Chains A and B, each alone.
Chain A
């Protein structure tokens, strides 16, 4: 340094000689300030990624220096997020690089009192050995005299936080092993969405995309805490609002979403069908429906068979109910003179007499197969286009909802009439040719014993208002995990094969033909090609082994015999049937209903494999779980072996997430994972290799599916299989190995291979379409060149309905796609969700079948009649139209019907799973308050990705309950103090937040208080607390086996909960007082 430089850096000299005489500015600049550069500027590379938290799918830029991630921030190119991130996304640097992530494999031997370290290879070999052994010991070749070729001894849970490619390998390997109990978060979060939307429209995904909300004129957010659970997606609601849209939030709580809404409508939890049904009634009686849309695009004109009886006739039951097994024979729900291949009904009916509780397909989650293909009807129904025949769907619907009046809403939901009318006014005045309204919902709707029907109610309403398939209109199912849509599409779900093909059931589906006959062959639509989709899948899995001669190895698929959902698995664990369990990024002792039952199940396992970032509650319950504290379990007595494998983060692997828009977004690996951390792709692939090694040369037929499996992926750096190769397999190829570009190319003759037919096209032209990153600002709002959406890159489903029957937009303001006479093709902003050259005037001949039978005015191309279903003659197990039933645990009787609750709900009476007394009994007063659960912005699901993260934990450091001042006064709860919340299942404690945001409601002439519980906490991590799910019962929707955790009853009392055995005693005391027995709550 020269003297002059040295002198020049002397602040005093700078002050005297420069302009900053006061020495407050440049003269005071320090050496560090002089050299200051942002660390992003010094990064070696910037890697494009996607946020791993919720399903908005915000773009991330990952800055890497010296092979370390130094910064993660929003990617301004993303048309979905526009560079923004919520607190969780903003904390993903700490999530992925923070010290709370484990990097060593841990092992707990049987009866061990602590973890031991184990090297990765040994652990992998041990797991492989256990899989082989348990599979051998629990193999079930036949069940009830029919071939099932499976094991119920092993189960897997998790997938929604993983990449599609990882889900694909999980499902593929486990299916080849005969493991059918493969489940993920989608079961407990959005399975009812698939059934509800699927039976209504033909596909189970959101009908619109988030950015399109900016075009809405009215947005109703109900059953969702949008602003808190999907903050970056909420920018599109704010955008709409800035353009003049009305935003309505219907929710038991005044949340951060309500704070930004124009109108907050408090509602009693669990009564949304009454509320929405009354809006339907209003729309019908006031003639506010979109007549032409309803007539042309829905099944309003279709005539229902004369055997059908409504709940209005049968006091809360539809025709066909059997009290014996609490299920419906749905044949009487059919259209007049048609045959339905109900996914659930008539076939199940055939086997009911056998006396087995499970053998019918009814319990096999069949309604979920409508994720991409509506329920099947086989011949053309009769119609009355005047809509006046009393047996038209239109008239049936009208009668069904005639008693759903504003007065009823007031009585059931606690919503005053004038508020209800205001909602109707906003909604109807903002729907029609020139305006559109959107519904946004999430698990506030799905997690009920009538969850699927909640979604159906909104679907009916949106169809009547003509809001489906149009810009700014639709139903946005807000999903909460990065790839929970993907883990339904490429399903780690027991009842599905990729692309919503049903898992074969042991009844009737012993060969491919029987399978296609039972689940396919609809009158019209693209579901009629399901044989091609199925064969292509079998080719993807078993390659050259699958031939016409051997039925494409359809026999290699294990068979279902009933429900094998995650809750059935828990019961099977408690019963000692299921002995081995994989947890792949899911924490059921916090996130699933009835935490206690979850742990009791795990304590009966032989072995448990947990793959996660940190030591979540589901990994350590044997050591420090609540039952250890209460003395109900002793660590030394628990024989379960536990393996903990540290997982790789999203920055450490490549792959695709499918977000809530159905958009597959590719994220690149930024750095290699350190230590023993590995991707789930790595884990599944290498587990597969080890298993094949162990069974090599086996002649046992049950091992052939595994040994013949296509399991040969090119390796990337390290020994990670190439995710891109997996995605190519999912996309599919023709006989020459050329990538396919659309599912219409799939064939049933074995000449094509495709791992998931709805994802066919993601590798169109051999290009990874999901990795396309053309900046949003360079495109219109559709942003068709950003990533890729299923199906066929269509962003608004059913968008044929955005044009009138002649093919012109309903209005200029709401133009989306239209028929271009000159080119003889559909044209517009979006890719038409229709055959591109099928003219609006096309009418099929009478004998046309399948795709050719779809007319030019059939926008719902996956439906068997091409129409949106106001009335579902098939497809659901609990009714063709939604009906208000009270929740399983409720303080109120159902004023509409003698049948109080969903008569077909699925219950599991068990010592660990007791229900509350019926509302009209004196004992009901033991649990007088309504409880609902929800998410906070600052945390994520069961906490595994937030409670260990200090920057998030400090923002919401403790589990709390929200109560209104009236309830606080009634029970003596102190603001900031502690409260104990008790149900028949368990007792938990929470800090008390007394807030005016919790409004007591007036229902049936009395006051009802509601308690809000965020469900993120558990005893492990940096921020700790009791888990709200300790309180929940396992009571399920009969269609998809989703649990009811959004509406239940409880008691609350001041002070902390008792410790040790006294906690159990407290629950016992409540049970005694409520006279709870095995029968309680199982009544109608």
Chain B
């Protein structure tokens, strides 16, 4: 199939404002892709016992507990302006002498609180460094414009691992090969949606044509802003960002760092051409110098 005949680009829009942190995406992904269970580790990181994306975790739900005087729970969806409650001060009583607290945050005025949940996944970058550096052709760009590791080709060299600006791709310990989300490449071929998006109880994970998803995402942010959720923002969808836009992008309610996402990722191979150019120039200069030296001696 040539690029021209390709179906439109497919991707995920993960709207974290409606995520209930149920982790259905993690399980549905593992069940479908037969990803191995990877150990019982109690991490004491809120309700996150998965930790991070890895060769054995292709969807990961992050949990962030924030004590912030936000006015009200910031997860309101689509409430038309003017309706519903205004900012809510829970006005909960506070206790203890200053300095007695052991929590990470200082006692906030009003004592309001929020618990952010967000399902992370491979971003399927427009400019994907993992793909660029793969020496075997195991990583390839599919007709859906997604980035997939072909398990029958991968030789486990691991070049892709440091290349990923998001730290997504990873080698599996037992076989050394690189594994990550395929956006359920096999299901896409049959017109099915990826397992995680299908399972998601609240449609926090939406699958579809990237163009349409981008539009939907922007509309959603507008609605949330209108509803007073000023912290809503999109992450990754911008085609002018460091990876030229991602196929899987997010609506976040805080800075990306809060969710463990890099604020301004850049495709690690972006500078390769200029590096080669510089190296070439340097080589030329060296060569010229050497030539000059020889030429000078002769003269």
Contacts and interface: CB of A to CB of B under 8 A. Distances in A.
Interface of A: 11, 18-20, 23-33, 36-41, 71-74, 83-91, 93-94, 227-228, 231-232, 234-235, 238, 241-244, 246, 254, 256-266, 414, 416, 418-419, 422, 426, 936-938, 950-958, 960, 965-966, 968-969, 975-976, 991-997, 999-1002, 1007, 1022-1023
Contacts of B200: 84
Contacts of B72: 262-263
B153 A955 contact: no
Contact of A241 (B47, B77, B141): B77
Contact of B189 (A36, A85, A960, A1002): A36
A74 B203 CA distance: 13
Nearest to A20: B3
A452 to B, nearest CB: 30
B9 interface: no
B21 A994 contact: no
Contact of B102 (A11, A418, A937, A969): A969
B291 interface: no
A954 B49 contact: yes
Contact of B152 (A31, A39, A938, A1002): A31
A950 B20 contact: no
21 contacts: A26-B2, A28-B137, A39-B186, A85-B201, A86-B22, A87-B26, A89-B24, A228-B20, A231-B20, A238-B202, A238-B203, A241-B76, A244-B79, A260-B75, A266-B92, A416-B92, A422-B85, A426-B85, A954-B38, A955-B27, A993-B46
Contact of A87 (B2, B23, B111): B23
Contact of B22 (A32, A39, A228, A243): A228
A296 B205 CA distance: 47
B101 interface: yes
A996 B77 contact: no
Contacts of A254: 113, 115
Interface stretch (B163-171, B190-198, B242-250): B190-198
Nearest to B46: A995
A19 B2 contact: yes
Contact of B30 (A88, A246, A258, A951): A951
A262 B103 contact: no
B295 interface: no
Nearest to A15: B137
Contact of A30 (B91, B95, B105, B153): B153
Given A40-B187, A956-B47, 11 more contacts: A20-B3, A26-B2, A28-B150, A87-B24, A256-B115, A256-B117, A951-B26, A969-B101, A969-B102, A992-B44, A995-B46
B84 interface: yes
A992 B44 CA distance: 8
B195 A73 contact: yes
At the interface, is chain B mostly helix, strand, loop or mixed? loop
Interface string B137-167: 1111111000010111100000000000000
Given A86-B201, A91-B31, A40 B192 contact: yes
Interface string B190-232: 1010010011111100000000000000000000000000000
B84 A244 contact: yes
A98 B244 CA distance: 42
A37 B78 CA distance: 38
A18 B65 contact: no
Given A238-B18, A419-B90, A259 B44 contact: no
Interface of B: 1-4, 18, 20-24, 26-28, 30-32, 37-42, 44, 46-47, 49-50, 65, 67, 72-73, 75-80, 83-85, 88-93, 95-96, 100-103, 105, 111, 113-117, 131-132, 137-143, 148, 150-153, 184-187, 189-190, 192, 195, 198-203
Question: Which of B39, B77, B148, B184 has the most A CB atoms < 10 Å from its CB?
Answer: B77
A952 B22 CA distance: 11
Best-surrounded residue of B27, B32, B113, B192 (most CB of chain A within 10 A): B27
A517 to B, nearest CB: 50
Contact of A960 (B4, B42, B85, B199): B42
A996 B139 CA distance: 43
B153 A36 contact: no
Given A24-B140, A259-B75, A73 B199 contact: yes
In terms of DSSP, what is the predominant structure of the interface of chain A?
A: mixed
B198 A83 contact: yes
Contacts, number: 275
A966 B148 contact: no
B186 A86 contact: no
B20 A90 contact: no
B101 A227 contact: no
Contacts of B65: 995-997
A732 B34 CA distance: 46
A33 B84 contact: no
A234 B202 contact: yes
A232 B204 CA distance: 12
A960 B41 CA distance: 12
B151 A32 contact: yes
Contact of B186 (A36, A995, A1007): A36
A91 B90 contact: no
Nearest to B91: A416
A188 to B, nearest CB: 25
Given A25-B141, A28-B137, A937-B23, A241 B79 contact: yes
A1001 B93 contact: yes
A956 B114 CA distance: 21
Contacts of A246: 84-85
Contacts of A86: 22, 24, 199, 201
B95 A966 contact: yes
B137 A23 contact: yes
A1058 to B, nearest CB: 21
